[in-house]
């Protein structure tokens, strides 16, 4: 760097002298003055390079990622949890997740689980920093690497090389020295989610009310719910997201009251749930993954029953109300929900897969029974059952993403 600056300054000075000479201006530059100027330049450069914390990295701007030197590792930034488990006492370093077969690191004795501390005498602060230092080198350079393994600091030397066809494959060497194919657990996605819900006992309680009003009850085998959701990869195979689903049914029928009045009775029932999901995925093959996880959220039932003859007179609205104490009733019950579940996904193409999931709802309500909602007020319904929201869930459908 110093020589380059000196050559540039020399060129500028000679050019300046020539320019002035063309204009017939007399310029005298002595050898002593020139040497004194060069000494000042060198001193300034030394002062710049001695500033603490600056570690210049020279990179060939004509080099691309495809033809840059490689050390043959699958790496990740070191987090506090990894450092704590491995008794690593420093706040810098790059974790080796795996090494490519016959690559520079494999030949130098580095294995999965090692922590690279220094590269060519400089601290490897994080993954991108190490990558830049590697790219600053040339093919064939021998570099000293300091790494941490089993509470010991070790040193080795590796020779930088190009990626070979073998290294480009998704194959890494595990800690026990075996070759293992590096599989992806995916990146996330979302979709419409159909759910078959087989309730434990709540349909019996709901059907009791419906039958009392002359309606057919819900199918005790289960109901088909519709919903949607999505999730994304937050690192180390964990996926965070959300989902929800619901079901509703609306029925009407003619009815003759004890007073001989013909009226229309209406029944409306709905239930639904939603919440946050957390899953841990495991790759079985390139196209098949499985996961274990749970949903934590909320849910509830709503049941409405009404009766009307459809005739309203502005002058006799109060008489209509006097003749009936309850011609509309809305009942509801709310829960906090927890759903452990397991999933299996098969990728058909890059952006589409088939997802199958099984789970079980566990619910808890903060009220002892159902409540009636009237004019935005809640009233306790005496003698109402302690209906749950427990039961099995099965879901099979498309998944956009992976």
Q: Are 369 and 335 in contact (CB under 8 A)?
A: no
**Residue 278 main-chain phi, psi, to 5 deg:** -140, 125
Q: Are 230 and 206 in contact (CB under 8 A)?
A: no
Q: Please determine, looking at this structure, whether the domain spanning 65-181 carries the CATH number 3.90.180.10.
A: no
H helix intervals, 220-342: 317-322
Cα 269 to Cα 337: distance, rounded to the nearest angstrom: 19
| 158-184 confidence digits (pLDDT tens) | 998 765 444 444 555 555 656 566 678
Closest by CA position to 181, among listed 195, 166, 194, 170:
170
The residue ranking higher by pLDDT, 309 or 335, is: 335
Per CATH, the architecture of 188-311+318-401 is what?
Beta Barrel (2.40)
The residue ranking higher by pLDDT, 56 or 149, is: 149
| 133-162 confidence digits (pLDDT tens) | 998 888 888 999 999 999 999 999 999 876
pLDDT for res 30: 53
pLDDT for res 377: 83
pLDDT for res 172: 56
- Please name every residue paired with 255 in a beta bridge, in sequence order, or none if there are none: 263
Q: How confident is the model at residue 48 (pLDDT cuts 50, 70, 90)?
A: low
Closest by CA position to 117, among listed 88, 137, 142, 97:
88
Closest by CA position to 73, among listed 43, 97, 108, 40:
97
Cα 359 to Cα 338: distance, rounded to the nearest angstrom: 10
pLDDT over 50 (residue 188): yes
Cα 278 to Cα 295: distance, rounded to the nearest angstrom: 7
Report the greatest alpha carbon distance in the chain. 127
Q: Are 298 and 273 in contact (CB under 8 A)?
A: yes
Closest by CA position to 133, among listed 149, 121, 148:
121
**Residue 120 main-chain phi, psi, to 5 deg:** 55, 40
**Residue 178 main-chain phi, psi, to 5 deg:** -95, 150
pLDDT over 50 (residue 12): no
Q: How many CA atoms lie within 13 A of 342 on its CB side?
A: 2
Q: Which residues contact 175 (CB under 8 A, 6 or more apart)?
A: 111, 112, 113
Mean pLDDT (the chain, rounded)? 82
Cα 301 to Cα 271: distance, rounded to the nearest angstrom: 4
The mean-pLDDT minimum among 21-30, 124-133, 292-301 falls in 21-30
Q: How many CA atoms lie within 13 A of 178 on its CB side?
A: 4
Q: If you count DSSP H runs as helices and E runs as strands, how many of each does the chain have, helices first? A: 8, 18
Residue ranges per structural domain of the chain? 2-49, 65-181, 188-311+318-401
pLDDT for res 130: 92
The residue ranking higher by pLDDT, 384 or 39, is: 384
Question: Looking at 160-284, which runs of residues are DSSP E strands?
Answer: 171-173, 179-181, 188-199, 223-235, 238-256, 262-283
Cα 273 to Cα 244: distance, rounded to the nearest angstrom: 5
Length of the chain: 402
Q: Which pair of tokens denotes residue 102?
A: 């016959």
- Please name every residue paired with 268 in a beta bridge, in sequence order, or none if there are none: 250, 304
Cα 76 to Cα 176: distance, rounded to the nearest angstrom: 19
Q: Are 145 and 110 in contact (CB under 8 A)?
A: yes
| 250-280 confidence digits (pLDDT tens) | 999 998 888 788 889 999 999 999 999 999 9
Angle at 93 between CA 89 and CA 94, to 5 degrees: 135
Q: List C-alpha distances in Å: 82 to 97, 118, 148.
A: 11, 18, 12
Range among 3-17, 109-123, 178-192 with highest mean pLDDT value: 109-123
């Amino acid at each position: 760097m110093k020589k380059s600056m000196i050559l540039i300054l020399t060129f500028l000075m000679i050019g300046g002298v020539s320019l002035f000479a063309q204009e017939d201006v007399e310029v005298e530059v002595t050898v002593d003055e020139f040497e004194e100027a060069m000494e000042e330049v060198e001193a300034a450069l030394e002062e710049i390079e001695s500033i603490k914390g600056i570690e210049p990295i020279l990179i060939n701007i004509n080099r691309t990622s495809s033809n840059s030197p490689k050390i043959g590792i699958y790496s990740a930034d070191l987090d506090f949890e990894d450092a704590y488990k491995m008794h690593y006492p420093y706040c810098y370093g790059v974790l080796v997740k795996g090494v490519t077969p016959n690559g520079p690191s494999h030949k130098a004795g580095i294995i999965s689980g090692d922590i690279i501390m220094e590269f060519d005498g400089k601290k490897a602060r994080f993954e991108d920093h190490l990558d830049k230092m590697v790219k600053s080198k040339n093919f064939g350079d021998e570099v000293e690497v300091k790494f941490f393994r089993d509470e010991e600091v070790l040193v080795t030397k590796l020779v930088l090389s190009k990626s070979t066809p073998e290294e480009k494959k998704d194959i890494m060497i595990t800690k026990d020295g075996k070759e293992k194919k590096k599989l992806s657990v995916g990146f996330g996605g979302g979709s419409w989610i159909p759910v078959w819900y087989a309730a434990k006992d709540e349909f019996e309680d709901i059907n009791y009310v419906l039958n009392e009003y002359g309606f057919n009850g819900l199918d005790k085998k289960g109901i088909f719910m519709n919903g949607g959701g999505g999730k994304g990869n937050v690192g180390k195979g964990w996926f965070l997201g959300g989902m929800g689903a619901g079901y509703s049914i609306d029925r009407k029928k003619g009815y003759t009251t004890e007073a001989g009045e013909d009226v229309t009775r209406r029944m409306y029932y709905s239930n639904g749930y939603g919440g946050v999901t957390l899953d841990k995925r495991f790759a079985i093959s390139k196209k098949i993954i499985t996961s274990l996880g749970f949903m934590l959220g909320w849910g509830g039932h709503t049941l409405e029953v009404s009766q009307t003859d459809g005739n309203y007179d502005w002058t006799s609205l109060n008489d209509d109300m006097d003749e009936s104490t309850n011609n509309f009733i809305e009942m509801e019950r709310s829960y906090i929900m927890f759903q452990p579940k397991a999933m299996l996904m098969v990728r058909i193409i890059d952006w589409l897969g088939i997802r199958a999931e099984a789970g079980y709802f566990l619910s808890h309500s903060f009220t002892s029974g159902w409540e009636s909602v009237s004019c935005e007020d809640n009233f306790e319904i005496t003698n109402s059952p302690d209906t749950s929201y427990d039961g099995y869930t099965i879901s099979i459908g498309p998944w956009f993403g992976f």
